Every structure is written in C-alpha cells, then in structure tokens.
Structure 1
Amino acid sequence: MNPRFAVVITIFLSIFALINYYIGWHAQLFLSHVFHIQHFTIWWICYWLIAFSYIIGRLGSRYLPYSLSSVLKKIGSYWFAVMYFTFILLPFVDLAALVLWLFSVPLSLSVLILGSLLCLVVLLLMARGLWNARNPIVRTYEMSIPKDGGQLDKLRVAVASDIHLGSVVGNKKLQVLVDQINALNPDLILLPGDIIDDDIKPFIRHNMGAVMKQLRSRLGIYAVLGNHEYMGGHIQEFTEQMSAIGIDVLMDRSVKIADSFYVIGRKDKAAEHGGPSGREELDALLASVDKTLPLILMDHQPHRLDKAEAAGVDIMLSGHTHRGQMMPNHLITRRLFELDWGYLKKGNLHAVVSSGFGTWGPPVRIGSRSEVIELIIHFEG
C-alpha cells in the first residue's frame, strides 16, 4: 500500500471512530438514564458493527459473500445519515444540557428531554430526506442558441446525472428514472457520469441493463464517465455493458448528430493524471468539430466554466456535486464550484449542473432533491 494513502486512511478511520464514539457515549448516557441499562458490552459490539458496516462491506466485498456485503453496505449507508445528523446536532444538545444544569434541572430529566428531542429531530430529518431522495422531480430549463441547427429548430433533451446504481440504488428506482425520462418523449438522452456507484457487480448481478434498455429517444443515448466509474476501476467492462444496451460512452470524443449539432463527452477530471491515456485538453478535443454548429458538452465535474465558454461550447452539462446532498454541505459545494447546482449563463455558454438522480452513501437528501433535467433548446441561427 502506498505510504501516503495508508496515512490518509489511518487519519480518516481515526476521525470516523472518534465521531462515532462521541455519538455512542451520548447514546449510552441516554439508555442508562432512561431505560436504566447497566451493562453495555453487547450494545457496544453491536454499535461498532453498525458504525463500521459500510466500510466492512465495501472493503470486504472481495472476500465476503455478495449478499452479506450488500446488506452491510445498505445498513452502513443509512447509518451515515443518522451519524451525520446526530453529530451536527449533538453540540447544541450539549449546550442546552449545560444551560439546564445551570438552572439546577436534574440530570435524568434533562437527558430524557434532550435525548428524546434529538431522536425525534433525527427521525424527522431521515423521513424527509428519504422522501426527497425517493421522489425525483423533473426540472425544465429552456434556452436559445444563436446557431443554425440544420434540420432542427428545437431539441428536447433528457439529462440524468449521478444515478449511482449499486447496492443502495437498484432496479426499483432505476425503473422510476426510465419511466420519467420516457414520459418526456425526448429527442436525446444524456447521462453526465456516475451511472454506477463504484462497483459494477450489482449492475451485472441484478441485470440493471435490462431496465436501462427501456430508455427511448429519437436521436440516441450518450454518456460520460464520472469519478465513481474511475473509483470502481472497471472502465472497459462498464463501457461494454453500456454499449450492449445502446448507450454510447463518449471518452474524450465528439459525435455529430443528425448533421445538426455535436455532443462532446469528456473523461472525468479524475483521469487528468492518467498519463498518455489521461484526459484530453478541451481545445484539442474541439479542434475537429465544426463550431458553426451547436456544441453540447458533457463534463461530469463542473470545473472551469470559463474554459468551456472560451472554447465556444454552447451548453455544458454536469453533475457530481449532488448540491451537497445533505445540508449544510451545500455551503461547501457552493464554495468549491462557480456553479454547484442549477443554471448559469456565462457569456454565450449555458451551464447546467444537476443535483443528480441517485445518491451516494445514504439514500437521503436534505436541502436537495433527486431530479431529472429536461432541456428545451431552440436553435435560432
């Protein structure tokens, strides 16, 4: 193992363990005062198994039975959300406990009140977050391109980024995606990265390709790679799976469609340091296209909108950010990206960043919604 990677992993696991101990200690305090439990050995064993279940399931996927690994990842995914909300709220609970102590409120009473209130708030956040993730909406953006679209004067495009198909997002939600997209009757379907969630095995094992194959569009279906496809490391197998169901994965490649416009697909930013096979510069990628025609670019991570605008791109489609997925993470993504969600007109460039259809980790969204994007593009050359 790379020494630097080993240090990063050690630091991450240490912080993760400390956060979970902080939560577990408060849970023990609540259980001892409210339910008068005295012995916690078995409880702590179960607690740590749940806390580390995703990590065990993910890192042990090569050695554990698939069903066990999948169950562990699902349990761990839900725990991530519970851990996240609890960790954010606990400092406020501790502050309130200090105030109650200063007013001589008995410890058992303050633990009962504050612990119950915390459990209720976390439960409500989980319920709302699950609803936001399981009930995707369609967002429509309408725009005009001052270029001739050949035989087309209007184009309807369905866009779905960050589907994250795997152990948590499966065929049931995938069928919702297929039905929503097909209901739009799109001319074109674009998938800007993170179609799978790291591991390709669930996609194959559960025959998710058969569900995706139901997608319908007049001018085809095109996709690009996201960082999670690179993290999984099965790029060739993934592109073969997509090709088998009629989805063309554009890896630093452009396609001229109906002699009317181009769709350009970039490799993910994760490929930039991949040597000779790494990511091509945008100017070089566009050198062979006719820039008098409309140019639609898919780039999974919404980096450097200024470069896309300067290169003559008309529409740039991205995902990746999930809009933070669970607030207040959106405050971080807002600082990292010029546009972390929604629509921005930058010069002649129309930039659209989706919050994504699926979820990474917990199937929970607070402050964001699962979504499908509908683009209605007018060509006015």
Structure 2
Amino acid sequence: MKPRLIGTIALVLFIFVAINAYIGWNGWLYLSALISLDNPLPYAFAVAIISISYIIGRLLQPVAPLRKIGRVFKLIGSYWLAVMEYAVLLLPPADLIYWLLTKLDIPASTALLAVGSAVAVIMLAILLRGSWNAWSPVVRTYSITIAKPAGTRTSLRIGMASDIHLGTIVGKRHLARLAKAMEHMKPDLILLPGDVIDDDIAPYLDDNMSEVMKRLQAPLGVYAVLGNHEYYGGHIARFIAEMDAVGIRVLLDESVKIDDGFYIIGRKDLSAKRSDPEGRQSVKELVAALDASLPLIMMDHQPSDLEQASLQGIDLSLSGHTHRGQMMPNHLFTRRLFELDWGFLKKGQLHAIVSSGFGTWGPPLRIGSRAEIIQLNVEFRP
C-alpha cells in the first residue's frame, strides 16, 4: 500500500473519530445535566457502536443469516451519518453560545440545558423533515418542444425516475409509490437513468421487489441504464437479467428506434471506463449510425458530458446521480462539480434535465431537496 494512501486513510479515520468524540462529549454533558449520569462507560460504548453501525451493517449485509440484523445496523448508521453532518454545523455555534451565556453570569447548568435542548429540538426537526422529504415524492412536470418530426407522433409523455437505490433501506414500500405515480401519470414511455439498485442486488432478490417492479409499464416500453451503484455492486449481468424478467430493457451503449419516430440512447455510466473491460463509447460513437433528422433522446446517469451531447446533436438528455446534494449544504458541492446539478438547461438544441432522484443514498433524508418523479411532456414540431 502506497504511503500517500495510508496517510489519506489515517487522516479520514482521525477526522471520523474526532467528530464522533466531539458529538459524544457534547451529548454526555447535556445528558449529565438532564438526568444526572455518573458512569460514562455505557454511554461511551453506545456512542462507539452507533458511530460504526453503518460499517457493521455493510459488513453483515453479504452474510445471509445476519442480513436482517445488518439492515438494522445500516439503518441506524445511515441516520447517524446525517446526525454527524448536522452536528458539525450545529455544535460549534452552540458551544460558543453556551460560553457567552456563562460569561453573562447565567448558571452553567441552566445555559447547558437551554442550549442543549435547542440543539436537540433542531436536530429532531431536521431528521423528521428530512425523512418526510425523502419518503414523500413529488411529480415535477417539464414541457419541451423538439424541432424535429417524429414519424406520425406529434407528442410524447415520458415518466422518468432516477436514483431509486433499491436495497436495505429503500424497498418495496417506496417502490410501490413510484409504481402508483406512474400508473396515475400514464406515460407513453418510462425511463430509468441509473442507480436502480443500491450496490448489492441481494435485498432486491430477497424481498422479491420484482413483484412491484413489474408494475412499471408503458405502451412504448420501459428502458434503463446503469448507474455508478450498479457498477459498485458488481452484479451487472444478474441485474440486467432481473430487469429483463420484468420487461425493463437495460441499454448498454446502445440505441433503440421507438415507434419508427425517435431514438432512445442509453449510455453506460462513467464508471464503465474503469469497471468495464469494453469501456464506454463517446456520444459521437453512439450517434454515428443514427438518423439525426429524428429526435435523439439520451439517458446518461451522470450529467458530466452535456457539452458533447449538445455538439453531437442530442435533443434531450436525461440524468440523475447528483441527488441535488440530498442534504444541504451538500448542494454547494454538486453545483461546483456539474454544469447542471438539478433541473433544466437549454444548451443549443439540447434540452437537459437532471433529477434529484427518487430514492436516497446513505441517510434516508433530504434537506433542501425532495424525492421526485419527472413527467416530461414533449412536443415534436418540424
């Protein structure tokens, strides 16, 4: 192992331990003032287990007899990841306020209870609101016009859901919400631009999620592409087979001519460059053999190639991946990383749409973003 990598791992571990120790210490001070705790060892042990529960859950997940226990640990750990992020934002100013209050001759115990209670209430509100945003999807509607003929078709309604992340946390209940929304929407075509599963395919199989997945139906078909999490899981062939079994075709750097009027192009994820021996094709290669006089609709999980999509004549690009940061202020990073991290962008003839996604990764929370399904109304005007 390279010294630089060892140093990076050591630094990450140090920061992780330091953050959890800081949270634990503040929690101990507050609880001691609230209920007069004396022995710190049980509390320290509980904080230590909770802080690594996500890791424990991931380690237990591949072990079939321990998978249910692993789910519990992973769920606890997922929420704790959110607690860590917001504790880093809340505790330093809270500690400063506590210090200022004591300088105003307010008794330390009174100041501690007041500030600690305020932090606890804010944290609880964040967790509750974030959970609501994650589990209560909205349907966002976009209407665009593509200046090309599409055979005999003058319009098209697309239902799109990216980043479903089916796994140990996002399961059949949330998937049923998607199926119900699509049934109500009645789209002509359903598109799933990547991260349908969350790494491991085992929870999808164990919970028979195909029972709900097969409800995703549309007259012109249901198509998907791979996201980075399908590559992380490494079960590409099995995933494709499972999707095929429920009538969903996964496009791997290939295109399909629909209704003799337009093309659906499905790109491999950017991860394919290092995870797939065949790599992934450029946009130029993907469109080379297509009739560019017809509308070109492309799914590309990560919205990292919009310039090329525009230059190569793509009319509509559909992506996800960013989650819109999922929990603010993470959106400040996704805005810097991507030309478009959420919403709509017109770039030449290209209409680009990036969804914040239907599911979640890590904490089942959304702050400053919302679980969403896209209804896209397309008009074709030559």
Question: TM-score, length-normalised on structure 1?
Answer: 0.97
Q: Does 1:21 align with 2:21?
A: yes
Match of 1:128, SS state, is helix
Residue of structure 2 in register with 1:43 after alignment? 43
Verify the 8 A CA contact 2:270 2:302 in the aligned structure 1.
yes
Which 10-residue stretch deviates more, 269-278 or 136-145?
A: 269-278
- Structure 1 residues 75, 274: CA separation in 2 closer, same or farther (over 3 Å shift)? closer
Q: Once the 2 structures are TM-superposed, how far is the Cα of residue 3 of structure 1 from its aligned partner?
A: 7.3
Q: Once the 2 structures are TM-superposed, how far is the Cα of residue 61 of structure 1 from its aligned partner?
A: 2.6
The superposition leaves residues 20-57 of structure 1 with CA deviations (integer Å, 9 ceiling, x where unpaired) of 11100100111122221110111111111111111111
Residue of structure 2 in register with 1:334 after alignment? 335
Q: Once the 2 structures are TM-superposed, how far is the Cα of residue 286 of structure 1 from its aligned partner?
A: 1.2
Match of 1:320, SS state, is coil
Which 10-residue stretch deviates more, 65-74 or 96-105?
A: 96-105
Residue of structure 2 in register with 1:306 after alignment? 307
Residue of structure 2 in register with 1:374 after alignment? 375
Residue of structure 1 in register with 2:191 after alignment? 190
Q: Does 1:65 align with 2:47?
A: no
Match of 1:373, SS state, is strand
The superposition leaves residues 109-156 of structure 1 with CA deviations (integer Å, 9 ceiling, x where unpaired) of 111000000000011111111111111000000000000100110000
Q: Once the 2 structures are TM-superposed, how far is the Cα of residue 14 of structure 1 from its aligned partner?
A: 2.7
Residue of structure 2 in register with 1:77 after alignment? 78
Separation of aligned partners in 1, 2:11 and 2:248: 40
- Structure 1 residues 275, 216: CA separation in 2 closer, same or farther (over 3 Å shift)? closer
Verify the 8 A CA contact 2:59 2:70 in the aligned structure 1.
no
Separation of aligned partners in 1, 2:171 and 2:10: 31
Residue of structure 2 in register with 1:104 after alignment? 105
Q: Does 1:293 align with 2:258?
A: no
Separation of aligned partners in 2, 1:276 and 1:213: 31
5+ residue gaps in structure 2? none
Match of 1:363, SS state, is coil
Separation of aligned partners in 1, 2:14 and 2:77: 17
What letter is aligned with 2:196? I
Q: Once the 2 structures are TM-superposed, how far is the Cα of residue 62 of structure 1 from its aligned partner?
A: 3.2
Q: Does 1:142 align with 2:143?
A: yes
What letter is aligned with 1:110? A
Q: Once the 2 structures are TM-superposed, how far is the Cα of residue 274 of structure 1 from its aligned partner?
A: 3.9
Mapping for residues 212-231 of structure 1, pairs under 5 Å = 212-231=213-232
Separation of aligned partners in 2, 1:10 and 1:190: 42
What letter is aligned with 2:72? V
Q: Once the 2 structures are TM-superposed, how far is the Cα of residue 176 of structure 1 from its aligned partner?
A: 0.4
Residue of structure 2 in register with 1:359 after alignment? 360
What letter is aligned with 1:155? L
Residue of structure 1 in register with 2:280 after alignment? 279
Match of 2:274, SS state, is coil
Verify the 8 A CA contact 2:60 2:67 in the aligned structure 1.
no
5+ residue gaps in structure 1? none
Separation of aligned partners in 2, 1:11 and 1:151: 60
Residue of structure 2 in register with 1:123 after alignment? 124
- Structure 1 residues 26, 337: CA separation in 2 closer, same or farther (over 3 Å shift)? same
Runs of 4+ deviating beyond 3 Å: 1-11
Mapping for residues 258-273 of structure 1, pairs under 5 Å = 258-273=259-274
Q: Once the 2 structures are TM-superposed, how far is the Cα of residue 363 of structure 1 from its aligned partner?
A: 1.1
Question: TM-score, length-normalised on structure 2?
Answer: 0.97
What letter is aligned with 1:79? W
The superposition leaves residues 87-109 of structure 1 with CA deviations (integer Å, 9 ceiling, x where unpaired) of 21111101211211221222111
Match of 1:31, SS state, is helix
Q: Does 1:152 align with 2:153?
A: yes
Separation of aligned partners in 2, 1:166 and 1:13: 26
Verify the 8 A CA contact 2:159 2:185 in the aligned structure 1.
yes
Residue of structure 2 in register with 1:87 after alignment? 88
Q: Once the 2 structures are TM-superposed, how far is the Cα of residue 82 of structure 1 from its aligned partner?
A: 2.0
